[in-house]
Amino acid sequence: MRKQWAVVGGWLLAALLMPNVVAAVERAASRHPPGAAIASAHVLATDAGFEILRAGGNAFDAAVAVSATLSVVEPISSGIGGGGFFLLHDARNNRDVFVDARETAPESATPAAYLDKNGELDADRATNGPWSAGIPGLPAALVHLAQNYGKLPLKNTLAPAIRIARSGFEIYPRLESGYGSRREVMERYRGTRALFLADGTPPKTGEIFKQPDLARTLELLAAKGFDGFYKGEIGNKLLAAVEEEGGKWRADELAGYKIRERDPLRLEYRGWQITTAPPPSSGGVALAQMLQILEGWDLSKLDAAHRTHLITEAMRRAYRDRTIYLGDPDFVKVPVARLTSRDYAAGLRATIHPDKATPSALLPGLPAPLEDDETTHFSIMDVEGNRVSATQTVNLVYGSGMVAPGTGVLLNDEMDDFALKPGTPNAYGVMGFDANAPAPGKRMLSSMTPSFMESDTQLAVIGSKGGSRIITQVLLAILAHDAGLNARQVAALPRFHHQWMPDVISAEPGALDTDTIKALQAMGHTVNAGESPWGILQTVVWDKQANVLSAGTDPRNPVGKAGVVLTP
């Protein structure tokens, strides 16, 4: 039946036929994995994690190493000038915790500050330069992980990232083309020019890119912890850079940044316990809504067109609620219990016609373009059973484009994830209302959805990059794991997406075949097939029954690496 589900699905066929070459071994059933597994978007980051595990670290130490190394080698996606979410499973205490290292709004970031003289959203201010940047959270997360969950000091766990920042790494095509797309913005800023035009020309594939200032900033973080970034020399340089470019951050806002530990959101789906991101991520709530709507059907018994139709309708309804209800729970009351209840999902399910698209225009909203973004995800499991599912970001390609001189820190442009002008779509085409309006110290709504899924026999650690499309990728990955695909196949799946507005199904090449597209169109859907791939999904899977560990990284990202190391 499972194979039939995949084959009938069409969009799964290519992945199903791929050979599973993931390193794995079978052993007697065990309460602990047979080794460790890491999947990340860059080989150097995955290798940094294994280096730390070999040095006696646990999954949380490895997470510090992977996170910091991604900050160095994938500056287009994430960095210590940005933020992230770390979903942890602490095996010793059998505890799941969600470490919220999301950026916060400075007091200067009032809604009025983002309007132009005609009262329209100033998109340049929202996405480029100092006004687009929130107070970074990622450095605080690295310190928090090391102090509360790791075994090794930051001096050890940051060592690979510091080494690579100083000695350099090879530029790959995504970095080069991303720079090209953001060049005008990036070269507005003195610090960015000093780093990216150090040899007089923009970064080119194959060149070695060195970041000596970033190496030194990471050394100060390793030596002084929180204060090494948020106060003293680096803190002062960050404040001066923001001021030099016309923005306003106060020293107490930087020094007062706080990590939040939150209870993850939990739900059940067809025998799986899903543990996922609570607000200020919209991911977990939307995931709960979509999965609980879909629970009403046996997807394996449907043809590809009807299955895609029903999944799309679930996506449409969840993304509409995202816009209206979700924001930072420290500032607004988010009706999580109601939105994630089975009764609410049943009510939404009842509004879905089995063969007809519901026009999004029947619900209030405005059409807006879809855009791709950066962000990155990594998944880790260690031999003790500790797990990390982490998604981190500077938001759009190369964040704000602005490097603070003398620090190597590229600031995020996460302020665009607020509803800066309620009812106006942000760069991903998603809108927000009052729940996600900016306020001093508030965290902007996110789509990052680091997740675990566990049944009696399987355990998976999953997540992806992709802006507003992160949530639907995690949804499709959960459905694919449930359908019996292995880690590598799940990471390789072509994806489709609907986010209520614009009212269109976007699809990566190979996600929907011609007959399925025609059938969807006959049901009233608009389909935009053949878009460029938008995600980089990472999954690590432990088959508890067979005691087999495997890992998968998206093959569309040639610099990624998923690896398994078995302990003797």
Smallest distance, Å, CB 228 to ligand GLY?
A: 25
Smallest distance, Å, CB 393 to ligand GLY?
A: 5
Task: Please choose, from the candidates 553, 563, 233, 147, the residue with its C-alpha nearest in 3D space to the C-alpha of residue 409.
Answer: 233
- Which is nearer to ligand GLY, 485 or 537 (by Cβ)? 537
Q: Give the binding-site size for ligand GLY (rule: CB under 6 A).
A: 9
* 391 contacts 448 by C-beta, under 8 angstroms: yes
Site for ligand GLY in 188-217 (CB under 6 A): none
Smallest distance, Å, CB 190 to ligand GLY?
A: 25
Task: Please choose, from the candidates 520, 90, 469, 514, the residue with its C-alpha nearest in 3D space to the C-alpha of residue 305.
Answer: 520
DSSP letter for each residue of 472-501:
HHHHHHHHHHHTT--HHHHHH---EE--SS
Strands (E), 92-202: 95-101, 169-170
Torsion of CA 223, 228, 233, 235, to 10 degrees: 170
Q: At what angle do helices 283-294 and 470-482 cross, to 10 degrees?
A: 40
- Which is nearer to ligand GLY, 292 or 447 (by Cβ)? 447
Distance CA 384, CA 386 (A): 6
Smallest distance, Å, CB 69 to ligand GLY?
A: 20
In the complex, which residue's CB is closest to ligand GLY? 446
Which pair of structure tokens corresponds to residue 557? Answer: 């990202």
* 196 contacts 216 by C-beta, under 8 angstroms: no
Residue 393 binds ligand GLY (CB under 6 A): yes
Residue 328 binds ligand GLY (CB under 6 A): no
Residue 25, number of CB atoms within 10 A of its CB: 12
- Which is nearer to ligand GLY, 83 or 552 (by Cβ)? 83
Q: How many CA atoms does the CB half-sphere of 494 hold within 13 Å? A: 21
- Among 46, 192, 217, 375, the active-site one is 375
Task: Please choose, from the candidates 534, 530, 529, 541, the residue with its C-alpha nearest in 3D space to the C-alpha of residue 556.
Answer: 534
* 371 contacts 428 by C-beta, under 8 angstroms: yes
- Sign of dihedral through CA atoms 246, 415, 505, 435? negative
- Which is nearer to ligand GLY, 103 or 503 (by Cβ)? 103
Which backbone phi and psi does 140 adopt, to 5 degrees?
-65, -35
Distance CA 384, CA 304 (A): 40
Residue 395 binds ligand GLY (CB under 6 A): yes
Smallest distance, Å, CB 450 to ligand GLY?
A: 11
- Which is nearer to ligand GLY, 127 or 516 (by Cβ)? 127
Smallest distance, Å, CB 79 to ligand GLY?
A: 13
Smallest distance, Å, CB 322 to ligand GLY?
A: 11
Smallest distance, Å, CB 290 to ligand GLY?
A: 16
- Which is nearer to ligand GLY, 140 or 448 (by Cβ)? 448
Smallest distance, Å, CB 207 to ligand GLY?
A: 28
Query: Residue 104 catalytic?
Result: no
* 281 contacts 446 by C-beta, under 8 angstroms: yes
Task: Please choose, from the candidates 422, 377, 483, 333, the residue with its C-alpha nearest in 3D space to the C-alpha of residue 120.
Answer: 422
Contacts 24+ apart (CB under 8 A), 236-241: 237/404, 237/405, 237/406, 237/407, 238/404, 238/407, 238/409, 238/411, 240/404, 241/130, 241/191, 241/402, 241/404, 241/405, 241/407, 241/411
Residue 271, number of CB atoms within 10 A of its CB: 11
- Which is nearer to ligand GLY, 211 or 395 (by Cβ)? 395
Residue 278, number of CB atoms within 10 A of its CB: 22
- Which is nearer to ligand GLY, 290 or 302 (by Cβ)? 290
- Which is nearer to ligand GLY, 132 or 156 (by Cβ)? 132
> Could you say which of 417, 503, 508, 543 contacts ligand GLY (CB under 6 A)?
417
**Residue 477 CB partners (closer than 8 Å, separation 6+):** 462, 464, 490, 493, 537, 539
Residue 276 binds ligand GLY (CB under 6 A): no
Residue 375 binds ligand GLY (CB under 6 A): yes
Smallest distance, Å, CB 465 to ligand GLY?
A: 8
Q: Which residues pair with 566 in a beta bridge?
A: 35
Residue 392 binds ligand GLY (CB under 6 A): no
Site for ligand GLY in 439-498 (CB under 6 A): 446-448, 467
Distance CA 107, CA 325 (A): 23
- Which is nearer to ligand GLY, 397 or 511 (by Cβ)? 397
Catalytically active residues, by annotation: 375
Q: What residue ranges bind ligand GLY (CB under 6 A)?
A: 375, 393, 395, 414, 417, 446-448, 467
